[in-house]
Structure 1
Amino acid sequence: MIEEGMIKEGDQRHIHVLVSRKDRSNRYSFSPGSRYKASTTMLHGKEVKRGFDRDQFFKAAEEVFDRKFQYRRNYVESYQARNTFLKHPEKYFKQLLRLPAPEKKIAFQLLKERGVKLPLTTIPLTSSQLAGKIMTKLKKGITKAIHSGSIEL
């Protein structure tokens, strides 16, 4: 297990990708939120795409990394999942539930390690687990109904 502050073997380089927010003339914005993001313009007689697509950049970076290091990225670790979690949490958790059982187990383990509070703490994977969960809820409901229908001292 690699932890913060550990001394690791081998080359430890990393890179930072810096992209200017404006072009040289200071007329066009390259910002990911720019309205020029999906447009083209003529530059020195050639048609050039303007803007910077952060989503496309991260997708390509993940693909190159995964291919180069034969890394099997779990859904939880992807940029797309992070975006979905921030913008549409309900879609994110629905997607988690659709994962195959082994991937789902790893995904929930990763989320637990990161301290993410899950709306569903236990998700039944088998019919017996589902039946147990239903019985527990039913028992809790019946107990509450009995207590609300009587006067307790």
Structure 2
Amino acid sequence: MVTNFSSPIKGANGGSCQRLAGYLEKENNQLPPHQQEAFFCAQSDKVSQTEVVAGIDRNGAAQGLKSGQDRFYTFTIDPSQKELAHIGGDPAKLRDYTRVVMENYAQNFGKGIESKDLVWYAKIEYSRQYTHEDKAVQEGTAQKGQPKEGDQTHIHIIVSRFKERQQEGERTMSLSPLTNHRQAGGAIGNGFDRVNFIQANERTFDQQFNYQREQTETFSHAKAAKSEHQPDRLAAREQAIKAQIEKDRPQPQTRDRTAEQTQSNYLSR
């Protein structure tokens, strides 16, 4: 389970979310109306693009930001193909999961807020294309724009920078997931711990869908494997080897209880 804070529309967070919301309609533009995927939010499974833009833009307007400062943020939830297979690729389950992710998001600020205090919208997409940043394109084994193989379902989220207004013109709490304010001891003080958020989302998926996550599927393992610190890399490799050995280990055969009882009776004579 990957949680990615990069945006598909670069440098557009300082104004209206119209461009981003329009970009997220790209799959719908190829489908008849009855097959199109709507945006959703905490309260509804069907929200129009117009409602998304109005909700995000209205909540960010006149909040005292300087020109160019972010009015909203976007991130994606990227389940693995194994995780998607576990839930049967069910869109309803993905919507339910996203709503809990947004509870994790709110709680991670440490300011006593909940998802209902936020203004957010999400959209499920079902395909991805190779870009120039993909290794396969750089190595010449895939072409830019070519569809990626397998189940590529993922969820885009747009969330206002500010807590939801209760009245017109009110200035509300600013909530940025891209800023970590750390105390001298290294702990997150008044900020957003993205590592904690990603790991909370992993735990949520596992608990919500009874998913048995292997060590090699965890964010902590992936982080250690990419670490420049050699002991971390070696520890991650050792964990992966141990997990594979345990997985391949033959299970002890269960002896037939009736045969055991017969043998016991025979020996007791």
Give the TM-score taking structure 1 as reference length: 0.41
Greater helix share, structure number: 1
Instruction: Tell which has more relative contact order, 1 or 2 (C-alpha 8 A, sep 6+).
Output: 2
Give the TM-score taking structure 2 as reference length: 0.26
